[in-house]
């Protein structure tokens, strides 16, 4: 049996998602090797590296990017740093996997595009639902014409809790949560383009934080240029677990994807039917995270696998920014004129 060529990866950002991704790279992605971890918080990278048996840890991210052993980077730092880190990594000639969003403004997306194209590096953005069980299969059903003409689409994200509402930045529900749903809807309506959005959002979970800019509950309506109408909804407090589902209804049928059951176990008792549910994205999306990292690694090694890149990042962000403008104005927003930034919208 031939020896599998491994891609040496460096991880930037040793927080919750970074730690989860690092464990998957180290333990479940066969053609990847985690060679280094970087995080500017003192001790964070060293702790994660020690846990996973990684030899090198940096507090200086420039050190990781200058490391000749590191061929590619996985960026899991806070979203506001993504664009700058992509630019630095591209300039260092590294293949790049960046957690969503790739930028917080359309201008930042333009910078990401310029950096990746100028330096000719592989770039993927972490829209994991494209790799979650049921979602690529649903896309295949739609592409085969089995639901006919898409007419109604729906995507849902309900997070299991809001532990610290004061730490949630304004507009997070659109820029970092629902952006997954926007990409999912785009993915399930192939060849179509979103043209208009209307968003309603409020602080229903933590109303005391409304004046600080927290929005924890939202519903968005999206119109596409093929006539389809889509809805996306999010809540930061689903008491029953982590809930991500999607549905596409067309002239000839319907397809659904997503299941929050933790296993096939069902308990039937005097109180009725009960099932265990997943309680975190790192549990529900473990397979999806592994698959998207595997696809990125394969692509960086010269075996291209389809995956979301800069165009997908821009399309989803444009919807998110349109939602912010819709909340500010109270009306629908045409996406062909959306050029605002999150910072402008927050004022």
pLDDT at 123: 98
pLDDT at 339: 61
In contact, 95 and 305? CB cutoff 8 Å = no
The pair of three-digit structure tokens given for residue 79, joined into one six-digit string: 């979203």
The pair of three-digit structure tokens given for residue 54, joined into one six-digit string: 């990684």
pLDDT at 41: 97
Question: In whole angstroms, what separates CA 86 from the centre of its chain?
Answer: 16
- Backbone CA torsion sign across 84, 89, 92, 96: negative
Give the integer Cα–Cα distance in Å for 177 and 223. 20
Who's near 277: CB < 8 A, 6+ residues apart?
Answer: 240, 241, 242, 243, 260, 261, 262
Q: Which DSSP helix (H) or strand (E) runs through 155? A: strand 150-158
Place of tokens 């960026």: 75
Give the integer Cα–Cα distance in Å for 215 and 209. 8
pTM above 0.85, yes or no: yes
| End-to-end CA gap in the chain | 60
pLDDT, tens digit only, all 347 positions of the chain: 455 689 999 999 999 999 999 999 999 999 999 999 999 999 999 999 999 999 999 999 999 999 999 999 999 999 999 999 999 999 999 999 999 999 999 999 999 999 999 999 999 999 999 999 999 999 999 999 999 999 999 999 999 988 899 999 999 999 999 999 999 999 999 999 999 999 999 999 999 999 999 999 999 999 999 999 999 999 999 999 999 999 999 999 999 999 999 999 999 999 999 999 999 999 999 999 999 999 999 999 999 999 999 999 999 999 999 999 999 999 999 999 876 544 454 44
pLDDT at 5: 87
The pair of three-digit structure tokens given for residue 339, joined into one six-digit string: 């050029």
Nearest to 67 by CA among 87, 37, 39: 37
pLDDT at 337: 82
């Amino acid at each position: 049996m031939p020896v599998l060529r491994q891609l040496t990866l460096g991880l930037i950002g040793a927080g919750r998602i970074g730690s989860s991704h690092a464990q998957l790279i180290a333990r479940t992605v066969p053609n990847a090797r985690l060679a280094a971890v970087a995080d500017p918080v003192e001790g964070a990278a060293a702790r994660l590296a020690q846990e996973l048996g990684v030899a090198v840890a940096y507090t200086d991210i420039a050190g990781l990017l200058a490391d000749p052993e590191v061929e590619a980077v996985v960026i899991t730092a806070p979203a506001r740093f993504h664009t700058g880190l992509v630019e630095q990594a591209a300039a260092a000639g590294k293949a790049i996997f960046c957690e969503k969003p790739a930028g917080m403004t359309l201008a930042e997306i333009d910078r990401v595009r310029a950096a990746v194209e100028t330096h000719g590096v592989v770039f993927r953005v972490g829209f994991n639902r494209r790799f979650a069980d049921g979602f690529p299969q649903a896309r295949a059903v739609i592409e085969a014409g089995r639901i006919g003409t898409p007419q109604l689409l729906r995507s849902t994200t309900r997070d299991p809790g809001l532990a610290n509402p004061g730490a949630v930045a304004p507009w997070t529900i659109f820029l970092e949560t629902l952006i997954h749903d926007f990409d999912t809807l785009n993915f399930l309506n192939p060849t179509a383009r979103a043209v208009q959005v209307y968003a309603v959002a409020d602080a229903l979970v933590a109303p005391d934080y409304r004046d600080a800019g927290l929005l924890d509950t939202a519903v968005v309506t999206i119109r596409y240029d093929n006539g389809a109408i889509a809805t996306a909804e999010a809540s930061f407090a689903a008491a029953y677990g982590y809930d991500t589902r999607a549905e596409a209804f067309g002239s000839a049928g319907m397809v659904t994807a997503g299941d929050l059951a933790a296993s096939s176990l069902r308990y039937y008792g005097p109180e009725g039917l009960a099932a265990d549910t997943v309680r975190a994205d790192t549990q529900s999306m473990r397979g999806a995270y592994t698959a998207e990292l595997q696809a990125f690694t394969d692509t960086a090694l010269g075996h291209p696998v389809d995956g979301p890149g800069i165009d997908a990042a821009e399309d989803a962000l444009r919807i998110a920014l349109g939602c912010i403008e819709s909340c500010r104005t109270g009306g629908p927003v045409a996406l062909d004129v959306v050029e605002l930034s999150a910072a402008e919208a927050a004022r």
